Amino acid sequence: MQVFKFGGASVKDAEAVINVGSILKKHAQQPTVVVVSAMGKVTNKLEELVKAYFFKTPNVMEVFEEVKKYHFDILKKLIPNSSDPIYNDLENVFLEMLWAIEESPAFTFNHHYDQIVSLGEVLSTKIVSAFLNQAGISNQWMDARGIIQTDNTYREGKVDYELSEKIVKDQLQPVLERNKIVVTQGFIGGTSENYTTTLGREGSDYTASLLAYFLNAEKVIIWKDVPGVLNADPKYFKNTQKIKELTYHDAIELTYFGASVIHPKTIKPLQNKGIPLFVRSFLKPEEEGTVIKESDQRLNVTSYIFKTDQMLISIQPKDFSFIAEDNLSNIFAIFSKHGVKVNMMQNSAISFSVCVDEDDFKIKPLIAELQDQFKVLYNTNVQLMTIRNYDNDIVSKLSENKVVLMEQKSRNTHQMVIKSE
C-alpha cells in the first residue's frame, strides 16, 4: 500500500493530467491512494473569490466564471464527450459554489473561506478520477471531507486522529483493497457539524502523510516539478544542488524554516511510523529524487531558505517594565489566539521582536490587540533568510549591501531579517 500526492502544478492542464495517468500506469501496481491538490493556481483564485464575496467587491462573478471556464476547458480536452456524467457532476459543484457566494455572509471570513476554497480540490479530483477511469486506470473517487475529521478551527483544522483513523480503516481501506486506486483530495477535511475545513495552505502533503499513517503505508511519494529536495529554491538561487537523502530531523528543520518543498506538518506522522517519504519529479518520473527517512547521516550541505512577504514586529511594554516571563507568556497567548506563527524572535530588556508572515487577515487584529497593552512598531516588506550549515564567508557574501534588521545564529543555523530592495 502506498500514497501518492500530486500538487497543483502536476494537474495544471490537460497534458499534465495525462502525464499523471502515465505515472500511475507505471508506478501504481499496488494499492495506491492518490491525493490531489487543486489545479494550477486555483486555490489563489478561489481566495480571490472569497475576498470579493466577503468584502462585496464587484468582480465576484467574473472570478467565478474564470474558475469555471478554466476547469471546463481542461475537462473538454480530457473527455470531449459532453454527455459524459462528469459534466453534470462538475456543474453541480459550481452550483454549490454559486449558492455559497449568493447568500450574504453569515459566518466568519475563515468559515466561508473553507467552504469555498475547498471546492478547488473537489473539482480537480473529480476531473482526474473521471479521466483516469476513462483511460483504463480504474479508480474510486472518495470525499476527504468525510474522512479527515477536524475540529472547527477554520483554515487550520486540527485533525482528530482517532476518528479519522477509524473512518480510514472502515471506509477507505476496503475500497483500496478492492479497487487498487483511490483518488481523493488533499488539504480538506470536515467537522462533526458537516462543515468543511482546510488544513492550512499547501496542506495536501499533510493529508498524504496522514493517510499513510492511518493505513500503515509502505511509502509516500510526492510528485513535484523539481527533481527532489534542493538545497535552495531555484527561483532565488543559481546552482542549486539536489539532496539525495535526508533524515526526518533535517527535513522537519528545513521545512520549518520555510523550505517550501514540503509542508512542515508532513514529517511527524511519517517519522512516528518510520514510513519513508520520496520526493520525485513528475516531469522525469524515472529519476530517483530524494528520500526522507530515519538515518544517522546528518545533512552536511549548506541549505538556503528564503522567505519573502515577512514583517518584523517590535513589542515594548508601555510602562517600561522588562520583557520577562509574564510579559512573554502574555504576548505568546495573543499570537496563539490569532493563529500567527513566529518565524524568528529576539528580545532585549524592554523590547521583544518577531518576524512573521505578512497576512493581513491575521496581523491587523493581532496588532490591534497587542496595542492595548504594548507599544507596537513594525516594518513590512522584509525577508527572512535562513542558512543551515553556514560558514562566515557565506553569511557575509549574502548580507553584502543589505540592510540587516535582525540577526541570530546557533551552531548550525544563521538567520537574518533583511529589508527588501
The residue ranges that bind ligand ASP (CB under 6 A) are 7-8, 37-38, 43, 120, 186-187, 201-204
Q: Minimum Å distance from CB 205 to ligand ASP?
A: 6
Q: Minimum Å distance from CB 136 to ligand ASP?
A: 27
Q: Minimum Å distance from CB 333 to Mg ion?
A: 32
Residue with smaller CB distance to Mg ion, 17 or 331: 17
Contacted entry of ligand ASP, Mg ion, none for residue 303, CB cut-off 5 to 8 Å set by kind: none
Residue with smaller CB distance to ligand ASP, 8 or 31: 8
Contacted entry of Mg ion, ligand ASP, none for residue 186, CB cut-off 5 to 8 Å set by kind: ligand ASP
C-alpha grid cell for residue 416? 537574518
C-alpha distance from residue 130 to each of 64, 78, 79, 125, 135 (Å): 23, 9, 8, 8, 9
Residue with smaller CB distance to ligand ASP, 43 or 327: 43
Contacted entry of Mg ion, ligand ASP, none for residue 203, CB cut-off 5 to 8 Å set by kind: ligand ASP
Residue with smaller CB distance to ligand ASP, 203 or 289: 203
Are 150 and 192 within 8 A, CB to CB? Answer: no
Residue with smaller CB distance to ligand ASP, 263 or 414: 263
- Of 2, 37, 110, 281, the residue at the interface with Mg ion (CB under 5 A) is 37
Q: Which amino acid makes up residue 353?
A: S
Q: Minimum Å distance from CB 344 to Mg ion?
A: 25
Which residue from 119, 197, 212 is spatially nearest to 159, judged by alpha carbons?
Answer: 197
Sequence-ordered strand ranges (E) for 87-165: 140-141
Pairing of strands 32-36, 181-185: parallel
Pairing of strands 188-190, 181-185: unpaired
Q: Minimum Å distance from CB 122 to ligand ASP?
A: 11
Pairing of strands 229-230, 181-185: unpaired
The region of 32-40, 184-192, 334-342, 353-361 touching Mg ion under the rule CB under 5 A is 32-40
Size of the site for Mg ion (CB under 5 A): 3
CA dist 31 and 33 (Å) reads: 7
Residue with smaller CB distance to ligand ASP, 7 or 190: 7
Q: Minimum Å distance from CB 199 to ligand ASP?
A: 8
Q: Minimum Å distance from CB 254 to ligand ASP?
A: 17
Report the residue number whose CB is nearest to ligand ASP.
204
Residue 373, CB half-sphere, CA atoms under 13 Å: how many? Answer: 12
Alpha carbon distance, N-terminus to C-terminus of the chain:
49
Residue 146 DSSP code: G
C-alpha distance from residue 65 to each of 37, 88, 91, 117, 344 (Å): 20, 17, 12, 15, 41
Residue with smaller CB distance to ligand ASP, 205 or 370: 205
Q: Minimum Å distance from CB 351 to ligand ASP?
A: 34
Sequence-ordered strand ranges (E) for 186-239: 188-190, 196-198, 219-224, 229-230
Place of cell 520526493: 279
* Binding status of residue 118 toward Mg ion by CB under 5 A: no
* Binding status of residue 8 toward Mg ion by CB under 5 A: yes
Are 111 and 195 within 8 A, CB to CB? Answer: yes
Which positions lie near Mg ion, rule CB under 5 A? 7-8, 37
